Structure 1
Amino acid sequence: MPEGDTVWNTARVLQRALAGARLTGSDFRVPQLAATDLTGWTVRESASRGKHLLLRLTAAGASSADGTASAGQPGGGRDWTLHSHLRMDGAWRAYAPGERWAARPAHLIRVVLRSAGAVAVGYHLHELALVPTDQEESLVGHLGPDLLGPDWDPAEAVRRLAAQPDATIGEALLDRRNVAGVGSKLVTVGPSDSDLVRRGFWVEGEAVRRLAAQPDRLIGEALLDQRNLAGLGTIYTAEVLFLAGVSTLTTVGRVGDLRRVVRLARRLLWANRGRTAQVTTGDTRRGRGLWVYGRQGQPCRRCGTVIIRGQHGSEPLARLAYWCPSCQPSSE
Structure 2
Amino acid sequence: MPEGDTVWQAARRLHTALAGKVLTRFDLRVPQYATADLTGRTVLDVTSRGKHLLTRIDGGLTLHSHLRMDGSWKVFANDQRWTGGPAHQIRAVLGAHDRTAVGYRLPVLELLRTADEDRAVGHLGPDLLGPDWDPQQALANLLADPARPLGEALLDQGNLAGIGNVYKSELCFLLGATPWLPVGALPADRAAKLPALAKKLLEVNRDRPIRRTTGGRGPDLFVYGRAPRPCLRCGTRIRVADQGDGSRDRPTYWCPACQTGPTPAPGSPPTRRVRSHPVN
* AA partner of residue 151 (structure 1): D
Among 50, 70, 73, which residue is 1:89 paired with?
Answer: 70
Q: TM-score with structure 1 length normalisation?
A: 0.76
Matches within 5 A, 1:234-249: 234-249=165-180
- The reply to whether residue 52 of structure 1 matches residue 52 of structure 2 is yes
Q: Structure 1 residues 284, 30: closer, same or farther in 2, change over 3 A?
A: farther
Among 118, 123, 127, which residue is 2:104 paired with?
Answer: 123
Q: Shift in Å at residue 246 of structure 1?
A: 1.3
- The reply to whether residue 223 of structure 1 matches residue 223 of structure 2 is no
Aligned residue in 1 for 2:215? 282
How many aligned residue pairs are there? Answer: 261
Q: Shift in Å at residue 103 of structure 1?
A: 5.1
Among 94, 98, 106, which residue is 1:113 paired with?
Answer: 94
Following superposition, which runs of at least 4 residues in structure 1 exceed 4 angstroms of deviation?
A: none
Q: Shift in Å at residue 331 of structure 1?
A: 6.2
Q: Shift in Å at residue 130 of structure 1?
A: 0.6
Among 206, 231, 240, which residue is 1:309 paired with?
Answer: 240
255-264 or 236-245, which deviates more = 255-264
Q: Is the 8 A contact 1:238 1:322 kept in 2?
A: yes
Q: Is the 8 A contact 1:241 1:261 kept in 2?
A: no
Identity %: 52
Aligned residue in 1 for 2:271? none
Q: CA separation in 1, counterparts of 2:62 and 2:28?
A: 15
Q: Shift in Å at residue 315 of structure 1?
A: 3.2
Q: Is the 8 A contact 2:43 2:56 kept in 1?
A: yes
Q: CA separation in 1, counterparts of 2:242 and 2:131?
A: 32
Q: TM-score with structure 2 length normalisation?
A: 0.90
Q: CA separation in 1, counterparts of 2:242 and 2:195?
A: 21
* AA partner of residue 68 (structure 2): R
Q: Shift in Å at residue 209 of structure 1?
A: 1.1
Matches within 5 A, 1:170-319: 204-256=135-187, 257-283=190-216, 288-319=219-250
Q: Shift in Å at residue 230 of structure 1?
A: 0.4
Q: CA separation in 1, counterparts of 2:209 and 2:113?
A: 32
* AA partner of residue 7 (structure 2): V
Q: CA separation in 1, counterparts of 2:191 and 2:127?
A: 16
Q: Shift in Å at residue 147 of structure 1?
A: 0.7
SS state of the match for residue 23, structure 1? coil
Aligned residue in 2 for 1:198? none
SS state of the match for residue 24, structure 2? strand
Q: Is the 8 A contact 2:146 2:182 kept in 1?
A: yes
Aligned residue in 1 for 2:26? 26
**Superposition RMSD on alpha carbons, in Å?**
1.3
In structure 2, runs of 5+ residues without a counterpart are 264-280
Q: Is the 8 A contact 1:108 1:124 kept in 2?
A: yes
Aligned residue in 2 for 1:13? 13
Q: CA separation in 1, counterparts of 2:211 and 2:161?
A: 17
Q: CA separation in 2, counterparts of 1:53 and 1:224?
A: 18
* AA partner of residue 25 (structure 1): R
* AA partner of residue 86 (structure 2): P
